[in-house]
């Protein structure tokens, strides 16, 4: 990675990061369900997460019947650029995790790897840099599946950052 590439990662605009993230989620979801449904999930999800991430109010997605089905359907107000990237990373982590959960079985086993491929190496590197961990999302959802299908549960020890299995 050369110095110019590193500068780009450090100077990536919040609006471009969120637009590429949302549109990549929608693109992968559209391959598994209808485009309208994928857009509806994103719109509903952004609304649900606004109380936790107030800055999501700066994102606007056109009405479903008006969509052109491209990245420009996602409008971002300029105030979004003032968001601390660590907070943006937390929001993106929650968006991706919740989106996959809302897709349910339609998401399929390879949803996150398809999302990563669609997002592209450049933006995957950027979201990793701001704290998004797709492996953690995958692990957490696999653990949830494990817990719901057995008589065991995963217990986290926050102080030591270790998880262990115990009977329910």
pLDDT tens-digit readout, 103-129: 877 777 788 889 999 999 999 999 999
Q: How far is CA 44 from CA 6, 9, 81, in A?
A: 35, 29, 23
pLDDT at res. 114: 92
Query: Which residues 6+ apart lie within 8 Å of 48 measured at CB?
Result: 98
Mean pLDDT across 38-60: 95
pTM of the shown model: 0.78
pLDDT value at residue 140: 62
User: What confidence tier does 150 reach under pLDDT thresholds 50, 70, 90?
Assistant: low
């Amino acid at each position: 990675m050369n110095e110019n590439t590193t500068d780009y990662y450090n100077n990536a605009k919040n609006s471009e990061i969120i637009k590429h993230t949302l549109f990549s989620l929608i693109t992968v979801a559209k391959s598994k369900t209808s485009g309208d449904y994928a857009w509806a999930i994103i719109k509903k999800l952004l609304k649900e997460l606004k109380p936790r991430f107030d800055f999501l109010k700066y994102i606007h997605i056109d009405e479903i019947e008006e969509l052109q089905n491209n990245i420009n359907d996602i409008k971002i107000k300029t105030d979004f650029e003032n968001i601390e990237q660590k907070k943006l990373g937390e929001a993106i982590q929650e968006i991706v995790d919740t989106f996959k959960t809302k897709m349910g079985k339609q998401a399929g086993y390879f949803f996150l790897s398809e999302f990563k491929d669609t997002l592209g190496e450049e933006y995957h590197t950027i979201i990793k840099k701001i704290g998004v961990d797709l492996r953690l999302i995958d692990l957490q959802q696999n653990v949830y599946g494990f817990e719901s299908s057995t008589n065991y549960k995963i217990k986290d020890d926050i102080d030591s950052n270790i998880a262990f299995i115990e009977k329910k």
